[in-house]
Amino acid sequence: MTQAIRSTRPGGHVGYVGVAHDVALPGDELFFSLVHLHGGPAPVRQYLPRLIELIFNREIDPGKVFDLTLPLDQAAEGYRAMDERRAIKVLLRP
């Protein structure tokens, strides 16, 4: 969480889903980062059966979410591509 806040430009947003366990954020660092922190629950269980059915029947392709694939050792480039808006979602492969 701290890495996400520190790597987000001032005025940017960090979003997270679920409960962050064992995370402590220094209040002053968060305040002076000028970063928006948003989080909450994701009611995925209610949608999961229908989504699995759609994927199983090949009615949707969940792989279309990713628009750039890189090897794991180029993770930093993936973050750079998303930051520079050259990619929406990066898939990292081993």
Q: How many CB atoms lie within 10 A of CB 58?
A: 7
Quick one: which H or E segment has residue 37?
strand 36-40
Q: Which H or E run contains 70?
A: strand 68-71
The tens place of each residue's pLDDT in the chain, 94 residues long, gives: 888 899 999 999 999 888 777 878 888 988 999 999 999 888 888 888 998 999 899 998 887 789 999 999 999 999 999 999 999 899 999 9
- pTM here is 0.47
CB atoms within 10 A of CB 92: 15
What are the residue ranges spanned by the domains of the chain?
A: 1-42
